[in-house]
Every structure is written in C-alpha cells, then in structure tokens.
Amino acid sequence: MAKKNTILICNGAACISSGEERIKEKLINKLSEKNLTEEVDIIETGCMGPCQFGPLMIVYPEGSFYIKLNEDKIARIVEEHLLKGRPVKEFTWATPESRRIGEEKKQLPFFEKQFKIVLSNCGRIDPDSIEEYIGTGGYEALGKVINEMTPEQVIDEIYKSGLRGRGGAGFPTGLKWKFAREASGNEKYVICNGDEGDPGAFMDRSICEGDPHAVIEGMEIAGYAIGANQGYIYIRAEYPLAVKRLQNSIQQAKKYGLLGKNIFGSSFNFDIEIRMGAGAFVCGEETALIASVEGKRGMPRPRPPFPANHGLWDKPTIINNVETLANIRHIIIKGSNWFNSIGTEKSKGTKVFALSGKVNNTGLVEVPMGITIKELIFNIGGGIPNNKKFKAVQIGGPSGGCIPENSIDVPVDYESLTNLGVIMGSGGLIVLDEDNCMVNMAKFFLDFTVDESCGQCIPCRAGLRQMYNILNRITRGKGELEDIDRLEKLSNIIKKTSLCGLGQTAPNPILTTLKTFRDEYIEHIVEKKCRAHVCRFEDAEVKDKDEKILKVS
Amino acid sequence: MVNIKIPDNPQYQALTLTLKTLKRKRGPTIEALHRAQEIFGYIPEEAMYLISKELGVPVSTIYGIVTFYHFFRTESIAKYLVNICQGTACHVKGADKILRIVSDELGIKVGETTPDNLFTLSTARCFGCCGLAPVMIVNEDIYGNLTEEKAVEVLREYKKKEENN
C-alpha cells in the first residue's frame, strides 16, 4: 500500500552537524506516538543544497520544504501536517510568492536557476541504498556500454559530448581516455580524484556522500573504455562519512554483480579499492596523487611522460575528478547531443559550486555553464547578508583568484574565467564583503601554499616564502612601495619556473588582487591603513614565517 | 638498525595482525599508518618500526611519509581533540577570533595539550563544512555557525561533563 506521506531528511554533513540525528529520532518517536508510523516513509538523503538552513526535510506529496528544524517544530509538523494534512507554512522556506502558490521547492530562487545533472540524486535518494539508485536508472549506462557499445564508441561519445575535467584544468575527458586506450600495455588503471584539498570546496564530498554509486558507475565505464580492470578512489581522510558510504556502495554493487568479475554476465571485470589521503594539498596534482596512491610521499614529478602512458605503478592511468565521473552515466544514457546542448560553445554541461563566505544562502548548487557569477551570488545565493557591500568573490581556491565587482558579469566557462586571470578550479566560491581585506586574503592563501609546498623545487619552496614575508610586512605597516614590484617579479618567476601546478598557480591570488585592488596595497604601505579593519599595525616586531628554521644554516 | 623494543600489548598485537593482511596489498604504507593512528591516536616511534619490519620498508621512508602528511601526528593527544577550521570560508567569517578565544579559554596554544590531559588544540585546513563557517570540531562532533560566545559555551559543556564523571 502506498504510504500517505514520504519525508526526505537531509543527511549531508552540514545537516548532521546541525542536529539531523536528533530531529530524526524525534520524528520517529512522535510518529509512533500518533500511530502514524505505518503511513509515513522516512528516507535519509544526501545533501539537498542550502546548508545554511539545516536541518532540512521535505514532506511529500505537498513538497513542503521545512528548514531550520528543531524538536518543537517537528512536534508541530507531525500534529498539523502529517496528522491533519495542514502544512505548517511558517516553518517552510518560502518567498511570499511561493507561499501563496504552494511550497514547491522549484519556485524558490535558490533552486530556480539551478540545473541538476550530477546532483540529480543528491537529496532525493538514500545514498546507502543501491535499490534506490537503480530505481533512478542507475547502472543502466554501465549495462548499455557493456552490451551495446565498443570501448571506442564510448570514448567517442564522451569526446563528442564536450565534457571537460571538473577538477579545474578543463582537459577534454574523452581525449584523456583516448590517450590511455591507445597506450600500450595490458595493465591499466582508473583513479578517481576525491582529494578535495581546496579550502572552501565541498562538491566532491557531497557527491560521494549523496550519490556514491554514480561515481562507481562512472569509474566502471571509464575502465571499460580504456581497458582497465582496477580502479582506485583516492579520497581525503577528513571525509569519513564519504569513505563509509563509498565502501558500502562498493559492497552492494559487488553483491548485485555490478562490480567485480563478469559484470552483467560479460567478460568485463572491474574492481575498486579506496585509498585514503592524509592531508596534502599537492596530492590533487596527478603525479603527486599517483605517488600517494602507491603509498609514498606525495611528490609531483615532471610531465611528460603523462600518466596516460606512465601512471600508477608506471602503467597507463587516467585520473578523473569525482564530478567528471558522476557526469558519465548521464551522457551515456541521454547522449552526447543532449549534453552538448547545455552550456556555452566551449564549456558544456553544468558545474557544481560550493557557495560560502559572506552570502545569504550558503550551500551546494549546480548551474549550467554560462550562467554569470552575478546570478550565482545574487539570485541563487540571495546576496550579501547584513546589508554589507559586495567586494569580490574568490574562485579556484589557492590556485585561483578574486573577481571584483566590475567583472561579476563574467559567464562561468573555462575560457572567460582564464581571461580574467582566475581559473574555474574545482568549484569553491567564497564571497567577500567590505569587511574583508584583500591584502590579508592574499597573505592567507600564501600562508596556505607555503605550508603545502612539497619543497622539491626552489621557486615554489623559497619564492613563495619570500612573497609571504613581504605580504606579512605590508599587513603590519612595515611595507615599502618597492615591495609591490618585488611581488610582481617573484610571481612571474614562480609561475614560469615551478615544477607542478601548485607552484605555477600559487601566485594567482596575489596577481589578481594586485591588479584590481592595488589601491588597498598602497593604502597599507603609505597610509598604514586597512579599510576593512582587519590588519593591525600596532605590533612593532614583525617576524618572518618560521624564522627559526630559516636561520639554521 | 637501531634496536627498538616493540611493546607486547593488545594495541601492538592488533596492529601486527592488520599489517599481516595489508602486506598482501600493493603500496600499503599510508594505509598502515592510518590504521596505526586509529589504534594509538597518533603514530608512536615503535609503531613506525613495527610497520617497517612487517612491510619491509625502511623506517626512514616511513618517517618521511609520516612527516609529509598533515593528517599524521607523532605526539599523543588528549581525550578531546579540538580542531578549529582555518579554511577560506571560515577565515573570512572570523575563524582567527574563534581560535584566539578558544586558545584563551583552554590556556594553551595550537599543538599543545592542557595539563589535565583533556584538550589538545589543533587547526585544520578545511572540513568541507564551509556552509556552516566558522566551524570547530571536537573529536567527531561538528559545531557550525560559531560565535566566540558559542565556542566557549561548547568547551565549557565538555568540561562540565568531565567534572560530573
């Protein structure tokens, strides 16, 4: 018998920390108290998106979207909505408009401009249930490639779709697969890069937690395409819930014959192992990641040779980001033409962003490529809290840069962002308002990259440290005007001469802020003034970073 | 090789057992270190020697890996590990103020442990809970949307809990 109501409770990391467990317990108790247990289905889902308003739940068939839940609210909702069928409107997230028409989630500005492909299951199904995943068409794409397509056809389809790597650099995925397919050797590997090391990014975490089977299915299709039988998921140790859900999904898929030997009764074998990272930002770089999967220090090496020819254990290897892999099954089922029709000329499909910082609606969003940064922040994000003035948005983490107010009409696509001197990155968007100091932000990122430099090549190891020291002097009122030239000169040298992506992009936060917020740097140096009141100048003694270590000869 | 005596207690026995299975995997060193940290809460020198012996990897290599990755600790920690996120989103929302007040409240600096062995103070780069910035994690429990007052309140709750025990 169909149940009267279905309740989806968000079980994403943010909602868990806002007390989801307690809410669920209260709900279950209250339902049994009112003899409603048999009439209501409760499903715990992955991240629904608007993390700021957790704990969240949606009650169907009405679609009432309840936010900021507490135990008292649950009691009211059970009595009013579930027992008497009257949604408690004051507890739902609604604009005056949507409150009038009904509580449909779609009508909220937060969701209106979103377009969900990768996140289509996040917040809709129970991530711990393979049956629910299959119910949404899961593993259909895998069946289709194994039974109806040759590996070459799969690669061709992905290439034609225009899918580009979502880890940040935007390399065409189909091309990457083609190189690995053509590389000689029987032993090949697929690695899923879940080492989401950028502070301010939680897209991959949410996908692994909310729809883990989609990542597994994507890896299997990649394995079939390039001729690999073994995959590794490299994931941060800081994400224990994601690890748990992936492990559970691997077990389930094996039980169903959808992973392991003779998948779908064919001769295709594919196995997946999880490898945990241990907190090193540089391991997002593919050669460093490979070293780490091999159990070594995560040191990058020069490329070429590229991993497509010499990767894991020196065998041909492809490394795809979590979000890239989660796109695969949709492209296989709906076709490259469909995917190709979404987005801009050179950037196809959607991109998942993690919105945080000084913005009203923080959380996880997925938008079609080509949407403007302005729409992302002001429509979906709901603008800046406390009537503060927008200053800039930081994109691409420590390798990215800041987009100032006069450029926020830029469309989200790889080329437009690169033209601004920033990068798409993996999808962290951190909004800054007038209370944030741009020189301090630049220093913050350098502090990060200095710590994360693997120390192998001199420009990165020594150059970044010198830049940090200069910025540290400026933010303490000890800077001189020549310092700006020094910063620019060092930045250019480091960009050109560093071994890997970490060093080559580390100066970006400084270069982009120097370009658009140069007056703030000058203000710090000449007037000893920080307009955001972040930097303190009273400190007379300015210590260089790790002075102690530097003095050891 | 330095002659290090590996203690014979349930913790080391458990690690030895794990290492016997891990040995069959390719490139198991990092995983072995994760298991060791789960068992001890940090990675003692003796555990590095044990891993070295069982996996046949030089102890210098093991030490190199332990010190390369931020996640591994070589010092023991107190009952509660207080981690203040210093990621970008937390930074722009005043994580430094949270760190300062927590440090004052506990009377220790980052990396230190309180004399009663209750709290160790640490910082982290990002927990991926940026929607709730600023964030603090005590062992496994996440506290989001913190203010200075709320952070102190959380710590005092832990202290109270201990006093009642």
Q: Residues A94-120: what's their mean pLDDT?
A: 73
Looking at residue B1, what is its pLDDT?
A: 54
Contact B125 A397 (CB under 8 A): no
Give CA–CA dist A468/A458, Å, rounded: 15
Give CA–CA dist A115/B44, Å, rounded: 49
The arrangement of strands across the sheet holding A350-357 comes to: A363-368, A350-357, A428-433, A390-395, A401-404
Q: Residues A502-529: what's their mean pLDDT?
A: 95
A and B: number of Cβ contacts within 8 A: 144
Closest approach of chain B CAs to the CA of A522, in angstroms? 22
Q: How confident is the model at residue A536 (pLDDT cuts 50, 70, 90)?
A: confident
Judge if pTM exceeds 0.90.
yes
Residue with tokens 């910035």: B133
Looking at residue A550, what is its pLDDT?
A: 40
Give CA–CA dist A356/B131, Å, rounded: 5
Looking at residue A97, what is its pLDDT?
A: 56
Contact B69 A13 (CB under 8 A): no
Closest CA to B57 of B28, B34, B21, B17: B28
Looking at residue A17, what is its pLDDT?
A: 83
Q: Does A91 reach chain B within 8 Å, measured CB to CB?
A: no
Residues of B in contact with A238 (CB under 8 A): 71, 124, 126-128
Looking at residue B81, what is its pLDDT?
A: 94
Contact B129 A202 (CB under 8 A): yes
How crowded is residue B143: how many other Cβ atoms within 10 Å of its Cβ? 21
Looking at residue A548, what is its pLDDT?
A: 41
Q: Does B126 reach chain A within 8 Å, measured CB to CB?
A: yes
Lowest mean pLDDT segment, chosen from A290-299, A423-432, B25-34: A423-432
Residues of B in contact with A275 (CB under 8 A): 30-31
Residues of A in contact with B150 (CB under 8 A): none
A169 contacts: CB under 8 Å, gap ≥ 6: A423, A501
Looking at residue A542, what is its pLDDT?
A: 63
For residue A100, pLDDT beyond 80: no
Instruction: Assign domain A350-433 one CATH number from 3.40.50.720, 3.10.20.600, 1.10.150.450, 3.30.565.10.
Output: 3.10.20.600
Closest approach of chain A CAs to the CA of B165, in angstroms? 23
* Tokens read off for A469: 């020291």
What does the mean pLDDT of chain A come to?
92
Give CA–CA dist A426/A544, Å, rounded: 31
The enclosing H or E element of A32 equals helix A20-33
Closest CA to A125 of A213, A226, A218: A213
Contact A14 B132 (CB under 8 A): yes
Query: Choosing among B71, B123, B126, B137, which should be mutated to test the A contact, i.e. which has the most A CBs within 10 A?
Result: B126
Residues of B in contact with A200 (CB under 8 A): 87-89, 126, 130
Looking at residue A543, what is its pLDDT?
A: 65
Looking at residue B3, what is its pLDDT?
A: 73
What does the pLDDT look like over A21-62, one tens digit per residue?
999 999 999 999 999 999 999 999 999 989 888 899 999 888
Residue in chain B closest to A293 (alpha carbons) equals B27
Q: Residues A538-542: what's their mean pLDDT?
A: 63
Q: Does B133 reach chain A within 8 Å, measured CB to CB?
A: yes
DSSP code of A139?
A: T
Closest approach of chain B CAs to the CA of A151, in angstroms? 28
CB A417 within 8 Å of CB A341: no
State the amino acid at position A477 in one-letter form.
G
Residues of B in contact with A243 (CB under 8 A): none
Look at A421 and A443; give whichever has higher pLDDT.
A443
Closest CA to A485 of A459, A514, A456, A513: A514
Give CA–CA dist A195/A286, Å, rounded: 10
Residue in chain B closest to A16 (alpha carbons) equals B142
What does the pLDDT look like over A393-418, one tens digit per residue?
999 989 899 999 999 999 999 999 99
**Shortest CB distance from A362 goes to which of B29, B68, B131?**
B131
Q: How confident is the model at residue A250 (pLDDT cuts 50, 70, 90)?
A: very high
Where chain B has pLDDT below 50, the residues are: none
SS3 B126: coil
DSSP code of A121?
A: S
What does the pLDDT look like over A145-204, one tens digit per residue?
999 999 999 999 999 999 999 988 899 999 999 999 999 999 999 999 999 988 888 999
Q: What is the CA radius of gyration of chain B?
A: 18
Which 372-401 residues of chain A touch chain B by CB within 8 A? 394, 397
Residues in chain A: 553
What does the pLDDT look like over A308-319, one tens digit per residue?
999 999 999 999
3-state secondary structure A88-115: CHHHECCCHHHHHHCCCHHHCHHHHCCC
| Residue limits of CATH 3.40.30.10 in chain A | 5-112
For residue A99, pLDDT beyond 90: no
How crowded is residue B96: how many other Cβ atoms within 10 Å of its Cβ? 15
For residue A500, pLDDT beyond 70: yes
Give CA–CA dist A76/A411, Å, rounded: 44
Residues of A in contact with B91 (CB under 8 A): 199, 444
What does the pLDDT look like over A211-243, one tens digit per residue?
999 999 999 999 999 999 999 999 999 898 999
HSE, side-chain direction, 13 A CA sphere, residue A240: 8
| Residue limits of CATH 3.40.30.10 in chain B | 80-164
Contact A201 B130 (CB under 8 A): yes
Give CA–CA dist B30/A295, Å, rounded: 5
Give CA–CA dist A168/A95, Å, rounded: 35
Looking at residue A104, what is its pLDDT?
A: 58
Contact A238 B133 (CB under 8 A): no
Residue in chain B closest to A292 (alpha carbons) equals B30
What does the pLDDT look like over A334-385, one tens digit per residue?
999 999 999 999 999 999 999 999 999 999 999 999 999 999 999 999 999 9
Residue in chain B closest to A396 (alpha carbons) equals B88
Residue in chain B closest to A273 (alpha carbons) equals B25
State the amino acid at position A3 in one-letter form.
K
Closest CA to A287 of A175, A198, A195, A212: A195
For residue A15, pLDDT beyond 80: yes
Closest CA to A517 of A423, A396, A416, A436: A436
**Shortest CB distance from A430 goes to which of B72, B88, B127?**
B88
B80-164, what's its fold?
Glutaredoxin (3.40.30)
Looking at residue A311, what is its pLDDT?
A: 96
Contact A199 B125 (CB under 8 A): yes
The arrangement of strands across the sheet holding A64-66 comes to: A40-45, A5-10, A57-60, A64-66
Angle at A420 between CA A483 and CA A283, to 5 degrees: 80
What does the pLDDT look like over A259-268, one tens digit per residue?
999 999 999 9
The number of angstroms, rounded, from the C-alpha of A458 to the middle of its chain's C-alpha atoms is 30
Looking at residue A351, what is its pLDDT?
A: 96
CB A231 within 8 Å of CB A223: yes
Lowest mean pLDDT segment, chosen from A195-199, A500-504, A527-531: A195-199
How crowded is residue A281: how many other Cβ atoms within 10 Å of its Cβ? 26
HSE, side-chain direction, 13 A CA sphere, residue A223: 26
Looking at residue A95, what is its pLDDT?
A: 64
A323 contacts: CB under 8 Å, gap ≥ 6: A118, A166, A167, A203, A204, A207, A351, A352, A426, A427
Strands (E), A67-205: 189-194
A386 contacts: CB under 8 Å, gap ≥ 6: none
Looking at residue A439, what is its pLDDT?
A: 96
Instruction: Kindly give the residue spans of alpha helices, DSSP state H, lying in chain B.
Output: 10-22, 29-40, 45-55, 59-68, 88-92, 95-106, 148-164
A5-112, what's its fold?
Glutaredoxin (3.40.30)
**Shortest CB distance from B129 goes to which of A14, A294, A448?**
A14
Residues of chain B with pLDDT > 70, as a percent, come to 99
Closest CA to A249 of A355, A126, A341, A368: A126
| Residue limits of CATH 3.40.50.11540 in chain A | 130-340
Q: How confident is the model at residue A90 (pLDDT cuts 50, 70, 90)?
A: confident
Look at A143 and A109; give whichever has higher pLDDT.
A143
* Tokens read off for A212: 């883990």
A438-551, what's its fold?
de novo design (two linked rop proteins) (1.20.1440)
Give CA–CA dist B95/A154, Å, rounded: 47
Residue in chain A closest to B136 (alpha carbons) equals A17
Looking at residue A93, what is its pLDDT?
A: 84
SS3 A17: helix
CATH number of the structural domain A130-340: 3.40.50.11540
Give this complex's ipTM: 0.92
